[in-house]
Amino acid sequence: MGLFGLPRSPRGSNATLDVSPATLPGDPSIAASLPTPRLDLDPALAVARYEELAQALPGTGIRYAVKANPHPLLLALLAAAGCGFDAASPAEVQLALSAGAAADTLIHSNPIARRADLAEVYRMGVRLFVVDAPSEVDKLADVAPEAAVLIRLATTGEGSDWPLSRKYGCSADDALALLLQAARRNLDAAGVAFHVGSQQRQPRAWEAPLATTAQVFARARAAGLDPRIIDLGGGFPAGHEGDHPGLTAYGAAIRAALARYFADPGQQPQTLAEPGRGIVGDAGVVVTSVVSVIDRGGVRWAYLDAGVFTGLVETLDEAIRYRLSTSADGGPTGPVVLAGPTCDSADVLYEKQPVHLPLALAEGDEVRFHSAGAYTTCYSTVGFNGFDPMPTLVVTGEQT
């Protein structure tokens, strides 16, 4: 059993307590009695963000990245609003189908996957796959004979807080060779995908990969292929510390780049996007409690009941800096190093650049991590040091 006496989900990280709007918001006595750590998730905010992005990128098929937060209610509401899904495994495909998504609104975007998983995803009805290497084109041709293929281009990841630049992606020359290989193997060589890095703060980051895509498409056409789909990836930001423009600025920059590099009205590409953080990030708050505040040789340390292994993995290298608030806010503040509850010395959140929190912060106070709806519950361990994975509390109309 997980927290709240609910059975754990098969992935161990999504115990859910649904609280109706009548019982939770505005009633501090109830909120204070809820266990921590937890993610307070308002799925309606994520749906609103999906609609905002769909408006900023008219004509682009939005495929929410299930990996960011696979909560079943969130997926069901997004599916009902018309959103498709980006899945990385058979389990994520199953979650999307169970949420009501049609298989033809799904894309498998994990470029390197087990042969058996590719076969299973294909059997489940998915027909669009992203790959970036010859071995993966061959695997796909073997087990998914009528699939359409997008080749993932490498990007620099510059301008993003969480770059995805080294592990996946290939050069323009390799992308062309892979499209030709896919066609030879009777797959539909449908186009190109890329990801400009997560929490991408520069709308112009899509410009360079779109220019490269245009070259690949032109060369592929000259070689007799019919490339026509561009997957713009994710990267749209949430409200972490630091500035970034609004989604309309991203939409405008991407549309301008598309108009520049795909000017021929007879050859307009179809576009897809795979946002995760940009949809669900701002819909969640991770609520933690202070276990202890300790002075270590003049440095103040606050130990929380959640950390790197229990939902806050993206604080590694201090890459993602969440906005924080506490139940002790109001008085004077000072620098404090935050640490998680496990005995692992890597379970330290912000040490290079300590955060400033109230000097009055003490055992039992709440520390809230805002805009933490993405990559938190699904990034928890299954129980390192005996600490449960972080559960989700579905809330409505809460301030995130």
Ligand X SMILES: Cc1ncc(COP(=O)(O)O)c(C=O)c1O
Site string for ligand X, 136-175 (x = CB under 6 A): ----------------------------x-----------
Residue 271 vs 326, nearer CB to ligand X: 271
195 touches ligand X (CB under 6 A): yes
Tokens of 220: 């592929």
Site string for ligand X, 296-335 (x = CB under 6 A): ----------------------------------------
Residue 66 vs 77, nearer CB to ligand X: 66
Residue 36 vs 199, nearer CB to ligand X: 199
Please give the C-alpha separations between residue 164 and each of 67, 153, 218, in angstroms, as whole numbers: 14, 11, 26
Q: What type of residue is 387?
A: F
Sequence-separated contacts (24+) of 102-109 with Cβ below 8 Å: 103/127, 105/61, 105/63, 106/63, 107/63, 107/150, 107/231, 107/272, 107/274, 109/63, 109/65, 109/193, 109/231, 109/274
Selected range binding ligand X among 37-45, 91-99, 270-278, 322-330, rule: CB under 6 A: 270-278
Selected range binding ligand X among 25-33, 227-235, 264-272, 294-302, rule: CB under 6 A: 227-235
* Positions in 106-135 near ligand X (CB under 6 A): 109
- Tell me the residue number closest to ligand X, measured at CB: 234
Task: Select from 275, 284, 311, 373 the one that contacts ligand X (CB under 6 A).
Answer: 275
Rounded to whole angstroms, the Cα distance separating 92 from 67 reads 8
Task: Select from 2, 37, 278, 307 the one that contacts ligand X (CB under 6 A).
Answer: 278
Residue 15 vs 232, nearer CB to ligand X: 232
Selected range binding ligand X among 44-52, 53-61, 230-238, 380-388, rule: CB under 6 A: 230-238
Please report how close the Cβ of residue 182 comes to ligand X at its closest, in angstroms: 18
Please report how close the Cβ of residue 143 comes to ligand X at its closest, in angstroms: 20
Residue 36 vs 155, nearer CB to ligand X: 155
Please report how close the Cβ of residue 51 comes to ligand X at its closest, in angstroms: 16
Please report how close the Cβ of residue 167 comes to ligand X at its closest, in angstroms: 9
Task: Select from 19, 68, 75, 302 the one that contacts ligand X (CB under 6 A).
Answer: 68
Please report how close the Cβ of residue 275 comes to ligand X at its closest, in angstroms: 4
Residue 92 vs 188, nearer CB to ligand X: 92
86 touches ligand X (CB under 6 A): yes
Q: What is the 3-state secondary structure (H, E, C) of the chain?
A: CCHHHCCCCCCCCCCEEECCCCCCCCCHHHHHHCCCCEEEECHHHHHHHHHHHHHHCCCCEEEEEHHHCCCHHHHHHHHHCCCEEEECCHHHHHHHHHCCCCHHHEEECCCCCCHHHHHHHHHCCCCEEEECCHHHHHHHHHHCCCCEEEEEECCCCCCEEECCCCCCCECHHHHHHHHHHHHHCCCEEEEEECCCCEEECCHHHHHHHHHHHHHHHHHHHHCCCCCCEEECCCCCCCCCCCCCCCHHHHHHHHHHHHHHHCCCHHHCCEEEECCCHHHHHHHEEEEEEEEEEEEECCEEEEEECCCCCECCHHHHHHCCCCCEEECCCCCCEEEEEEECCCCCCCCEEEEEEEEEEECCCCCCCEEEECCCCCCCHHHECCCHHHCCCCCEEECCCCCC
Please report how close the Cβ of residue 323 comes to ligand X at its closest, in angstroms: 18
| Size of interface with ligand X, in residues (CB under 6 A) | 17
Please report how close the Cβ of residue 154 comes to ligand X at its closest, in angstroms: 13
Selected range binding ligand X among 262-270, 275-283, 309-317, 348-356, rule: CB under 6 A: 275-283
Task: Select from 194, 236, 250, 379 the one that contacts ligand X (CB under 6 A).
Answer: 236
Residue numbers at the binding site for ligand X (CB under 6 A):
65, 68, 86, 109, 164, 195, 198, 233-236, 274-278, 374
